[in-house]
A and B are shown apart, each in its own frame.
Chain A
Amino acid sequence: MKYSFPYLGNVLVYKKLLEMLGYEVVVPPRPTQKTIDLGTKNSPEFACFPYKMLMGNYIEACEQGAGIIVTSGGHGPCRAGFYGELHERTLRHMGYDVELIIFDSIKRDLRGDVSKFFRLKGKNSLRKVISTGRVILRMLKDLDEFDKKIHTMIPYETVHGSCLKAFEEIRSSYDRCWTMKETETAYEEAKELLASIKLEEVDERDKIRIGVVGEIFVVIESSINMDIENTLCSLGCEAERSQYIGEWVDHNFFGKGREKEILKMGEDYIKIIIGGHAKQNVGHIVDYSKRGFDGVVHLMPFACLPELVSQSIIPRISEDYGIPVLTLAIDEQSGKANSMTRIEAFVDLIKNSKRKKMAAKTA
């Protein structure tokens, strides 16, 4: 039986996790137009875009022989919590003999989660599982760290493409790691590699920083969000996402991270958690503006329930904190040219207003 998983972010890590536990793994192909077409065809018309993307993704994985797909569930009220149930039914209806192992929120179904955990554990000793978990977590966080780092470097690199090339190298070196020790060595090497990249000297005041907030799937998965970070970088801006898988794991499993602080900042605008990351996103926008970012790009899948609430409120935050926000809805019909034009115009406006502000200060 071959195992697979949803394609989201640094999939290398999920692959490693399953491989380390001794399973044969099918890595689903990076989502392409074909994936999205397949997904759209087999999904309800008004399902959210990540649902459709994953649908196509699973179909492609099944075509390659996946028999078990490991994924996460949820407890609502966002629709993402119900994805797995519906995906499984649809796949079976289509004639694929596949099973989804869905890890639900521990609060909802602790017993089920424990039994699923032991199922995945298989014949591995508990000790091995724990040490594997530690290595994987380390890899996840390291890769997130480098991911974050290079997007503050790309706009200033002297040799075009050197950062992304380095990141590719880092990924493949992590792919060769099996133990904590190897991972640590890889980390040191990666740091050196990044330090060796030549960057232009740019005055702090001339740097433009843009935050990317929104629904977790479209924020993290570059194949469906027009590679937003690199797009922003290519326009000369530093980019930082509000969501990284490592942080998500940290918050959801260990209760660590800045999420509590962020939620507090969102309180004024959305009082309670209404599902998805709406409240966090509102908080992140406030946070970005406090940290001196120059603008925020807000990504949402078309008709995403929680993000529609934050979209309704964003104009007010933007006014209150004086930070420009561009909302882009993404779905299977998004034309890249249209979004590109909007992003370029947005960045131009930010650059202009920053230049004016600077000029006013020096004058």
Chain B
Amino acid sequence: MKIGIPNALLYYYYGPFWTEFFKELGAEVVVSHSTDKKTVDMGIGVSVPEICVPIKIFNGHVLQLLKSGVDYVFIPRMASVEKGKYFCPKFMGLPDMARHSIPGVAGKLLTMDVQSRSENIFSPKMYYSIAEKLAVSDKRIELACRKGAEVWRKFRKLGLGGRTIAEAFEGLKNPNRIKEPVKIDGPKIGLLGYVYDVYDEFVSMNVTERLRQLGINVLTFEMLSNRELKRYIKKMKKSLFWTFSDKLLGGAYKMFRERSVDGVIHVTAFGCGPDAFLGKLLELESEDSGIPFMTVRIDEHTGENHLQTRVEAFVDMLKRKTVPVGDAIRGHAKEKDRSGG
């Protein structure tokens, strides 16, 4: 039995758990290949025009899996992973949308409701509903949940150690050759964005790598522990309703208020609803703290050069700011000497 998992949206966060879970149940797990132009185009074909890019990409991945001949496509309904918090409505209606708008999904849809009080979505109770469909016993589900949870914890530990999601995935694959977290001696930038925007190389055009090449130390929200993320949020009268937006906001507050970064970049997808509000809050916070802030909005038409130019300009500005004027001029003169010969 082949089970397809779309390599999009929360795969970037819960993927290791789901993959291990289904493997443990004895299924062959097919993860769609990373996003490319064709995936996006296919997704656009079956999506409502004005829906956000990540959903269009997700639909593309679902089509990709259907084409490769899987028996089931796993599309969980992400309702809540925190008490009193939800996901964006589009995540909560994801299986409904897929079933009714993507041709061919209806018979192959494997879904369950993720409704949990914490980030640990491994309670077997939620997964019993799919036991019947896959003809496995509840006992096996329990075992698979446990095994999957172990892998996921390992994955998160790698991330909390200062590795990006991409590096953490890499670390899981080659446990013997886990790389040390990248440490760069240079300005620090907080890179805020959902995992499926920042780590989808097609969407973000690998902005983390770009920043590192420019000599920037990158800090993302997954590198911060939940406690750290909650520190400032707790004091708010009313925080955002969406778990991951809330995490980003918590991360941002920590960065801005503790002045632990030199600048903040917010990566967001065109048409992202929660980000419209999150962005405004970040903007207000940046004004209050005086720490530079930039929004990079990405959609299916974004060109690489535009991103490169903006990121470079932002980094140049930061470097100017952090290096004393005298040193900058002297450094500039030295560079000139070298190049001028």
Contacts and interface: CB of A to CB of B under 8 A. Distances in A.
Q: Which 8 A-B pairs have the closest CB atoms?
A: A76-B241, A309-B93, A46-B276, A77-B86, A274-B92, A316-B100, A306-B89, A305-B89
Interface of A: 43-48, 73, 75-79, 81-82, 85-86, 89-90, 93, 104, 108, 269-272, 274-276, 278, 302-306, 308-309, 311-313, 315-316, 329
21 contacts: A44-B276, A46-B279, A47-B276, A76-B241, A77-B87, A77-B88, A77-B89, A79-B274, A82-B238, A82-B240, A271-B77, A275-B86, A275-B92, A303-B52, A304-B273, A305-B88, A305-B89, A305-B90, A308-B89, A312-B51, A313-B96
B89 A309 contact: yes
A108 B84 contact: yes
B275 interface: yes
Contacts of A81: 241
A48 B97 contact: no
Nearest to B271: A303
B242 A76 contact: yes
B228 interface: no
A76 B101 CA distance: 25
Interface string B86-117: 11111011011100110000000000010000
B271 A44 contact: no
Given A77-B242, A82-B240, A329-B50, A312 B100 contact: yes
Nearest to B86: A77
Interface of B: 47-48, 50-52, 77, 79, 84-90, 92-93, 95-97, 100-101, 113, 237-238, 240-242, 271-277, 279-281, 284
A196 B273 CA distance: 49
Contacts, number: 115
B333 to A, nearest CB: 42
Contact of B96 (A90, A108, A269, A304): A269
A73 B241 CA distance: 12
Contact of B273 (A93, A270, A303): A303
A274 B92 CA distance: 6
B89 A78 contact: yes
A229 to B, nearest CB: 25
Nearest to B280: A44
B101 A278 contact: no
Contacts of B281: 86, 89
B92 A44 contact: no
Given A269-B100, A309-B97, 11 more contacts: A48-B273, A76-B242, A81-B241, A82-B241, A269-B96, A272-B79, A272-B92, A272-B113, A275-B89, A276-B89, A278-B89
Contact of B101 (A90, A276, A306, A313): A313
Contacts of B240: 76, 82
Main secondary structure of the interface of A (DSSP, over half): loop
Nearest to B240: A82
Given A272-B113, A276-B89, A77 B241 contact: yes
Given A79-B274, A312-B47, A85 B238 contact: yes
Contacts of B51: 308, 312
Contacts of A90: 280
B77 A315 contact: no
Contacts of A302: 50
Contacts of A76: 85-86, 240-242
Q: Which of B93, B277, B281 has the most CB of A within 10 A?
A: B93
A275 B274 CA distance: 13
A75 B86 CA distance: 9
A271 B96 contact: yes
B277 A86 contact: yes
Contacts of A79: 273-274, 276-277
Contacts of A271: 77, 95-96
Contacts of B47: 312
Given A82-B277, A89-B284, A302-B50, A77 B271 contact: no
Contacts of A276: 89
A316 B101 CA distance: 7
Nearest to A83: B277
Nearest to B87: A77
A46 B275 CA distance: 8
A315 B50 CA distance: 16
A136 B50 CA distance: 40
A350 to B, nearest CB: 23
A290 B272 CA distance: 35
A271 B93 CA distance: 8
Given A76-B86, A81-B241, A312-B100, A270 B277 contact: no
Contacts of B274: 79, 305
B277 A44 contact: yes
B96 A309 contact: yes
Greatest chain B CB density within 10 A among A82, A272, A304, A308 is at: A308
A46 B272 contact: yes
Nearest to A104: B238
A315 B101 contact: yes
